[in-house]
Chains A and B, each alone.
Chain A
Amino acid sequence: MLLGLFSSGAPGAERPAGEFSAPQRDYILACGGCHGLQGVSNANLVPSLQGLVGYFLNLPEGRAYLPRLPNIAFSTLDDEQLAAVLNYMVFDIGAGSAPAAARPYGAAEVGELRKQPLTEVTLTAYRRQLVETLVSRYRAPVALRGYGAATP
């Protein structure tokens, strides 16, 4: 259907990149504009996720941190869809960064955590504190400090 629709266009006609799984599509629609379609962001603005975001699951506060981020907690997705997006983000986009024993997020867990959004903290300072622990104790790459930029 896709090819049929778009292959008849003029030279240089645009073709869609393809089909997405449901969590991948939801990630692209709600997160990908800033964090990048493959999780590589403009690191001056928002953190890169590719190969990095899973490190947060080394700490209980880090695991809770992701669903408590305001734009995740306030998402229009329901708990189950949101848990699926978080798992896609951590285990697919962040592949190789989560600890081997990390469990996937569950809908009930995400439902509880998103009721406690991180609205009463300075987010950048809160994140920096988590990242320092991850770098010093869990061998997270220093790139995590600078939102994924090469130099922290």
Chain B
Amino acid sequence: MTSLQRQAVFHLIVTTACLVAVIALLVITKRPLASLAGFALIALTGFRSFRERGSRRPLYDERDDQINRRAGVISYQVFWVCFVAWGVALTMAFQKRAAVPIEYIAPAVWVAMWLVVTVRAVAILALDRASLAQAGGGAR
């Protein structure tokens, strides 16, 4: 497993924990806006997943860089489609009131961040797997 794959797995663990925290807070507090505090766990993605001291092997190379960039493009494409869809849905739902309640706007920021991190991590693992699919992992 390369450094990029490890990072992607770590990000998936963080985003899953984040989702669990939001749902748990929602159940416990029964206040949707308060439960959004669970999204603070996304900050953990700023940490490195594993220490890789003492390794003499390359941990990140040009192929990882290419996968990382493609995954970034995919995640922002998904984000943009969802962002536009959310905007259209809010417009259609609240056009007669001329104002969108804050509880529909605030979560969008954190959900968008969560979505980008999650989709990016999944895309990294999928693209990596796809590029190795024909070779088989056990090849010498």
- The yes or no verdict on A and B being binding partners is no
Residues of B at under 8 Å CB distance from A?
none
* Residues of chain A having any CB pair with chain B under 8 Å: none
